[in-house]
Amino acid sequence: MQALTYTAPHELEWREAPEPGLDSDRAALVRPVAVATCDLDALIIGGHSPFQPPFPIGHECVAEVVELGDAVGSLAPGQLVSVPFQISCGECAQCRRGRSGNCASVAFMSTYGFGPAVQEWGGFLSDRVCVPYAEHMLVPLPPRLAPAALASAVADAVRPATVTRLPLRAELLTLPRPGQAAPPRC
């Protein structure tokens, strides 16, 4: 399996990564199909990350469900879902109060694509990702909604997005900052 990895300021490369597996009967394996970027990605790639490279990137995505744990009954393989960047259980006191970024079931700042726990969770610019609390974290897409449209809306509902296709990987949505020209399509 490969993951797009931030290796140094202004440097990204595809690297081999361990293939994720289902870590519990509540988990799902997903294949990212549309990944959005935000201002934080530009800061990280520009060398302004407090987290030392190398680490996998990509933290906002729409994905296809590939495999499900036995306790997951509300989702199906092949289904398209929106995946949040923060890992949360949905059951602890913090999650029940709507503070999923402070979930007591996972390490502090457990996120996809950046943060101190990124090596455990990986990033969405990879072939596969494990979602530990599938029924809580995964939101099914309505029929006929384009994955890139939703990934773009989730990342930023205001700014325009352009889609750059990465060979044999997910679509990468590049969002220009206000006043900047959109990058060319590849």
Reported as a single tens digit per residue, the pLDDT across 105-162 is 999 999 999 888 898 999 999 999 999 999 999 999 888 888 887 776 654 433 333 3
- Biggest alpha carbon–alpha carbon distance for the chain: 49
pLDDT at 161 (0 to 100): 37
Residue 179 CB-density burial (10 A; 0-12 exposed, 13-18 middle, 19+ buried): exposed
SS3 104: coil
What digits encode the pLDDT tens for the residues 80-97? 999 999 999 999 999 999
pTM given for the model: 0.81
Neighbouring-strand partners of residue 81: 63, 140
Q: Calculate the dihedral angle through the C-alpha atoms of 132, 124, 63, 106, rounding to the nearest 10 degrees.
A: 20
